[in-house]
Structure 1
Amino acid sequence: MQIYEGKTAFRGIAEGKIKVYRKDQQQIKREHAENTQEELLRFERAKGEALRQLTGLYEKALKEVGEANAAIFEVHQMMLEDPDYVESITNMIRTQKVNAAYAVASTGDNFSQMFSMMEDDYMRERAADIRDISERLVGILAGRTGSQMELTEPVILVADDLAPSETVQLDKDKVLAFVTVHGSSNSHTAILARTMNIPALFRVNIPLDDTVDGKEGIVDGYHGRIYLEPEPRVREELEARQAEERRKQELLWQLKGKENVTLDGRRIEIYANIGSFGDVAAVLQNDAGGIGLFRSEFLYLESEDYPSEEEQFQVYKKVAESMAGRKVIIRTLDIGADKQVGYFQMEPEENPALGYRAIRICLDRPEIFKTQLRAIYRASAYGTVSIMYPMIISVEEVDRIAEIVGEVQEELKQQQIPFGDVEQGIMIETPAAALISDLLAKKVDFFSIGTNDLVQYTLASDRQNPKLEQICDPHHPAILRLIRLIADNAHREGIWVGICGELGADLTLTETFLNMGIDELSVSPGLVLSVRKKVRETKLGEKYN
């Protein structure tokens, strides 16, 4: 028996035969091109075919994993048509008189290396995307068609890394688990794996050869291990754990329809976080009481231009109608930092996490903000819709938002367009907002605490930097004190307060949050029933000290 350890991207246990996926080593030779025009034409044809393939992948992913996760293939299309990338390839063909495949491969290597050297974690992840689109182009130029990864039986898939396009082409019924040598928990492949509920490990130092291929294995996603030809004792232990997890899940399903009430009678709302209309099915399936965070920025990230009022309205309306009266809280546009949109034409920043993002963009570009607000207000006539505004740091910002909202309401009234009674809330995710939450509470209907950003801003530590995992501690006393302060200030003014960051699903803190007076927790749809179970087992005591 051999044991290989790594990091967990998605928990779970999978047992079966191991399949090592080795990408074709595309040996690209530099060849002199007598006819550069012909090579340029071949490149343009290959680019067109690649765009067609990516459109097909987007449509396939849309059906299987929803809009938010399918968006990577639209990103790939944009990268494929990026002027710098295209110009580098065509210029190399013209000036160096080389074959198109060599120009693509060289440009891909150069751009990938540039991205991998960037300090920002998100931008480093784009190196894999550049490699993916370049390999696709080279494959088309070489005459290869179809998927290179056809599976004939259920397997544990082991690879150096998996590009999103490779992952989405897989027959999901035949993949028991993913194990990769490289990658990260923030890569698109890891996100897709979590969405598909496929156990996944990354940074596993496992050989990609015949010593592994075809052998029996067990992936333990709870402890970040893969066992090669496991001993009977280990197999029995993990199979027992797997059976126990299935039993727990079956018990959780029995909680559907039950109330979120503590042993001593206190009710708490448990909502779900979503990124697209495609996620609503999971919200309903897991019996969430509403949507506590609709990340509207994905409408912008998935578009090649500013989404129109009508386009946004149709999406918000569908979500509101599908939730059938349950609350839908839409967060206004939150781009910037690691979520860049090319057509916004924003200048590069030294520290984008502390820069021009979220509400700062909206207040600086009110025409964009008003378009979104009009769409949300129109959709509010079809359900129970609330709005919350991200990255607030001052009372003045909230006052300015109220002025713009008033203008939008007046416009809709004059045009005789119906709209509902829309709750106004803000996200508390900066230390500034937390410390003046007593003043902010007088201005709004609710608070939603964004713990992901609150943690990194309070502890001055980038939550995506793996070197800072121990420092970026969401259980830090400073974080818990701020959450209690926010809750106390909210209740003094008679407004409710929720948590929509990942900390809301931390079951070790559920009792603490309830004792602080938190009224609502918004978590990933698949975690709703686990949080409900914890709430129903909790008896409240003295408030957290």
Structure 2
Amino acid sequence: MLNLLKSIVQEVSKAPELGAALEIIVRRVRQAMNTEVCSVYLLDPVQNRYTLMATEGLNASAVGKVTLGHSEGLVGLVGVREEPINLQNAPSHPRFRYFPEIGEDPYNAFLGVPIIHRRRNLGVLVVQQQEARLFDESEESFLVTVSAQLAATIAHGEATGILSGIHFSGERARDVCIKGVAGSGGVGIGQCAVIYPPADLDAVPDKACEDIEVELAAFSVAVETVRDDIRKVDSRLSDQLRPEERALFDVYLGMLDNNALPGEVVSMIREGHWAQGALRRVIDEYVRHFEAIKDAYLSERAVDIKDLGTRLLACLQMDAEQIERKYPDKVVLVSEELTPSMLGEVPRNKLVGLVSARGSGNSHVAILARAMGLPCVMGAVDTPINRIEGVEVVVDGFSGELYSHISAELRSYYLSIAEEERNLSKGLEQIRDKPCVTTDGHQMPLWVNTGLMTDVMRSLNQGAEGVGLYRTEVPFMINDRFPSELEQRDSYREQLEAFSPGPVTMRTLDVGGDKSLSYFPIKEENPFLGWRGIRVTLDHPEIFLVQVRAMLKASAGLNNLRIMLPMISNISEIEEAMHLVYRVYHEVREEGFDVALPPLGVMIEVPAAIFQVREIAERVDFISVGSNDLTQYLLAVDRNNPRVASLYHTFHPAVLHALKRIVEDAHAVDKKVSICGELAGDPGGAILLMAMGYDMLSMNANNLLRIKSVLRAVSLEWAQALLARLLTMDSPQVIKATIDLALREIGFDHLSRPPRTETH
């Protein structure tokens, strides 16, 4: 049964569009369950009605024509109850609704299961039989499993179909919304440019062909290159393989005959598809046919087809690399999974927004987007990556929504928001050089988080008093090798000089988790609980020592360096790291560099460290809280996983109590505490952190003036009263709503923009 289920899912996922996918589902499920009828009804969110979208056994002419209200009939009942309904005699049920045009009157047995994706009811999958009987438990379980497995594919297919301009109900699409999670606030309107990983057929987008002859020539070169490679391998192995084993190479060459696979790709190119997209479509069709064959030997040939397709694609992409990609004036960068290195693909002056199908609002690419002031939507899992190239979209980074087929009304709405944001930013410039002091005289130093050199001028222009977190991994991530000591020293020196005499807190290399180096891969089942942060650098002291040496030499004559250790979970890690720092310090001094021993601190981001803050603080010079990872670990929520993004609450009561305990325990041994997570850049979060007693708040430069404007408008006493009230609450949603209400009452409702409620 498991193999059967896998086979169905694979075949459906290869379908070119939603209608074909639904036809495969009803055909394969009907065969697997040996029933007389299988049908799929999809719920149209525009009309709030179910439409018969595919059937095997009922009248095919009724497809797309028969509709039911969202609670009408047995199908509607399944949808409303959101659970299976198994009936022996369906016509006798009071909710049975008879449709003579679909010819279901002879069928008594009925089993319907809901199709649910991310809490949204997509439709109902139904099987029927003439015999009056109950479907047994194994049949019901199988249908439920099929529905659960296929829900994401159907959602994706639905989004892809709507993106073409027509709802599946036949109505013209307007203001089509794809939901994700908010990654970085702001609004961007532009054309999508898809960045896809190399030699990955599934990731290749559909795109119109700009020059058919150029695409044909490129494909011809790719085919000939792959043919030559196969012939060379065949010749090289001729002495080692038997004739029957070498026959495989003849099979490959046969597939590459101009009358075979290449001929079909050429035909598609002539129809207007670019070569890579045409290749993907042809390979998908071949694979689907081979995988559907019951003969084991022939079905395995699908692997050979994929291999050939990947080889051809690699050649095409190698050729395409020689041609500089042209981007429109306003670009929305889209990818299955955006990475920091991808942000450099598009000239900054053209980039207006980012969309990633994977990841959450707290993944590192979202943090970089906030640092760069780019609106960003993460976790938009239903984004049809293959079909969105060149489509004009609105990126709503406030509510985490992506809109296509933009109406004049929607465009006007978002243009007005963008203008409002620009005016707000200009209005805040007048407080840039003013101190961040509350109405009752409490001073709250505001620092910035940096990583890119572009952050420096932006940070200084916003009036930053220092750097609470310099992400040293960024220079490592944009390289194709470990940067040398001299390269690191130059990079660090730029940061230290730019902010001098203000302090610059440099975090030692923090890779692992969702931050990977292409030249130092870390493959783990659970990377966030694995080899990351200080664990990596202590295991590789040669990396740690070179980095600390570069930091110390870069600080010569400036002495504004602070070094911070990430991912500390026990005292021994601190002692081992301090020993290495002291060793490097003496070596650098012996080399003739006049440097002071910088303050050494640690990040509190692992729950175990919360309960050892006093012991940790006694050994170091300062404490800094990384609230992003701390929240993730406290709530057991992977912050890059869009499925659980709604469970990641920075205002969760447990998080607030933990943050308060950390600052109290550190102050008990006279050590200062800063916080460099995203909570510090949230207006409500900044108020609460100040009330808890944090000594410095560090945030992205784009948030600095907004936070300053809020803190200058309130008193410390008022903030402490608000915190005391919130700490008695047990719901993160209630806490957040209370904070938003408090902000509105003091005139800062514009800093917590509600999501747009009017959608079409």
TM-score by length of 2: 0.53
Tell me, yes or no, if the aligned pair for 1:93 and 1:99 is still in contact at 8 Å.
no
Aligned mate of 1:400, from 548, 557, 576: 576
- 1:47-446 matches, cutoff 5 A: 96-97=252-253, 137-141=315-319, 146-147=323-324, 149-151=326-328, 182=357, 197-201=373-377, 203=380, 220-223=396-399, 224=401, 226=403, 228=405, 230=407, 237-341=413-517, 343-344=519-520, 348-383=523-558, 384-446=560-622
* TM-fit CA distance, 1:39: 8.5
Matched-pair contact (CA < 8 Å) for 2:631–2:655: yes
Distance in 2, Cα, partners of 1:209 & 1:351: 29
Partner Cα separation in structure 2 for residue 218 and residue 342 of structure 1: 32
Taking a change above 3 Å as real, the CA distance of residues 170 and 513 of structure 1, as seen in their structure-2 partners, is closer
Percent of aligned positions that are identical: 29
Q: Which runs of 5+ in 1 are unaligned?
A: 42-91, 114-130
Q: 1:378 to 1:150 in 2, by over 3 A?
A: closer
Partner of 1:479: 655
Task: State the secondary structure of the residue aligned to 1:381.
Answer: coil
For residue 474 of structure 1, what is the amino acid of its counterpart?
T
Question: What SS does structure 2 have at the residue aligned with 1:36?
Answer: helix
Deviation at 1:327, TM superposition (A): 0.8
Report deviation, 1:309.
2.4
Q: Is 1:503–2:679 an aligned residue pair? A: yes
Q: Is the 8 A contact 1:451 1:499 kept in 2?
A: yes
Q: 1:229–1:452: structure 2 CA closer, same or farther, 3 Å change rule?
A: closer
Q: Which residue of 2 aligns with 1:50?
A: none
Compute the displacement of 1:431 (Å).
Answer: 0.8
Task: From the superposition, tell whether residues 93 and 99 of structure 1 become closer, same or farther in structure 2 (CA, over 3 Å).
Answer: farther
Alpha carbons of 1:421 and 1:134: their partners in 2 closer, same or farther (altered >3 Å)?
A: farther
> Relative to structure 1, is the Cα distance of residues 136 and 183 closer, same or farther in structure 2, using a 3 angstrom cutoff?
farther
Within 1, Cα distance between the matches of 2:512 and 2:569? 16
Q: Specify whether residues 171 and 486 from structure 1 end up closer, same or farther in structure 2 by C-alpha distance, changes over 3 A only.
A: closer
Distance 1:517 1:39, change over 3 A: farther
- Cα separation, partners in 2 of 1:134 and 1:275, compared to 1, 3 Å: farther
- On the 8 A contact 2:371/2:700 being kept in 1, the answer is no
Pick aligned residue for 2:700 from 520, 524, 529: 524
Bigger RCO (CA 8 Å, 6+ sep): 1
Distance 1:264 1:226, change over 3 A: same
- Structure-1 separation of matches of 2:524 and 2:390: 46
Distance 1:37 1:137 in 2: 11
Question: Is 1:5–1:205's contact at 8 Å kept on the other side of the alignment?
Answer: no
Q: Counterpart amino acid of 2:645?
A: E
Q: How far apart, CA to CA, are the structure 1 residues paired with 2:539 and 2:584?
A: 16
**CA RMSD of superposed structures (Å):** 4.5
Measure, in 1, the Cα distance between the counterparts of 2:174 and 2:544.
56
Report SS of the residue matched to 2:437.
Answer: coil
Distance 1:34 1:340 in 2: 32
| DSSP 3-state at the match of 1:420 | coil
Q: Contact 2:223/2:312 (CA < 8 Å) preserved in 1?
A: no
User: What's the secondary structure of 2:647's corresponding residue?
Assistant: coil
Correspondence for 1:467 among 643, 650, 673: 643
Question: What is the CA deviation profile of residues 426-476 of structure 1, one whole-angstrom value per residue up to 9, with x for unaligned ones?
Answer: 000011111110111111111110111111111112111111112222211
Q: 3-state SS of the aligned residue for 2:646?
A: coil
Give the superposition deviation at 1:410: 2.2
Assess if the C-alpha contact under 8 Å between 2:337 and 2:359 holds in 1.
no
CA 1:238–1:23 in 2, change beyond 3 Å: closer, same or farther?
A: closer
Structure 2 counterpart of 1:230, one-letter code: S
Q: CA deviation at 1:329?
A: 0.3
Q: Match of 2:707, as an amino acid?
A: V
Structure-2 residue corresponding to 1:450: 626
- Residue type of the partner of 2:425? Q
1:14 CA displacement: 5.0
Amino acid across the alignment from 1:355 = G
The separation in 2 between residues aligned to 1:301 and 1:342, in whole angstroms, is 8
Q: CA deviation at 1:249?
A: 0.9
Aligned partners of 1:9 and 1:184 also within 8 Å:
no
* 2:634–2:655 contact (8 Å) kept in structure 1: yes
Deviation at 1:400, TM superposition (A): 2.2
Q: Deviation of residue 200 (structure 1)?
A: 5.0
The equivalent residue for 1:36 is: 228
CA contact (8 A) 1:18 1:156 kept: yes
Structure 1 equivalent of residue 64 of structure 2: none
Which secondary structure state, in structure 2, belongs to the residue aligned with residue 222 of structure 1? Answer: coil
**C-alpha distance in structure 2 between counterparts of 1:374 and 1:160, whole Å:** 37
Cα displacement (A) at 1:479: 0.9
Query: Is 1:515 matched with 2:515?
Result: no
1:512 is paired with a residue whose SS is helix
CA distance in 1, matches of 2:405, 2:611: 53
Q: What amino acid sits opposite 1:138 in the alignment?
A: L
Unaligned runs of 5+ in 2: 1-172, 195-204, 210-214, 234-247, 263-275, 288-308, 725-760
1:338 CA drift (Å): 2.5
AA matched with 1:378: K
Cα deviation for residue 523 of structure 1 reads 1.0
The answer to whether the 8 A contact 2:364-2:514 is kept is no
CA contact (8 A) 1:379 1:419 kept: no
**Shift in Å, 1:340:** 3.1
The structure having more radius of gyration, on CA atoms, is 2
Q: How far apart are 1:416 and its partner, in Å?
A: 2.7
Query: Secondary structure in 2 aligned to 1:362?
Result: helix
Residues 135, 277 of structure 1: alpha-carbon distance in 2 compared, 3 angstrom cutoff: farther
Residue pair 1:263, 1:538 contacting (<8 A) in 2 also? yes
Give the TM-score, by structure 1 length: 0.72
Matched residue type, 2:185: R
Whole-Å Cα distance in 2 between the matches of residues 463 and 446 of structure 1? Answer: 27
Secondary structure of the 1:508 match is helix
Aligned residues: 467
Partner of 1:23: 207
Classify 1:219/1:504 alpha carbon distance in 2 versus 1 (closer, same or farther; 3 Å): closer
Contact 1:4 1:206 in 2 (8 A): no
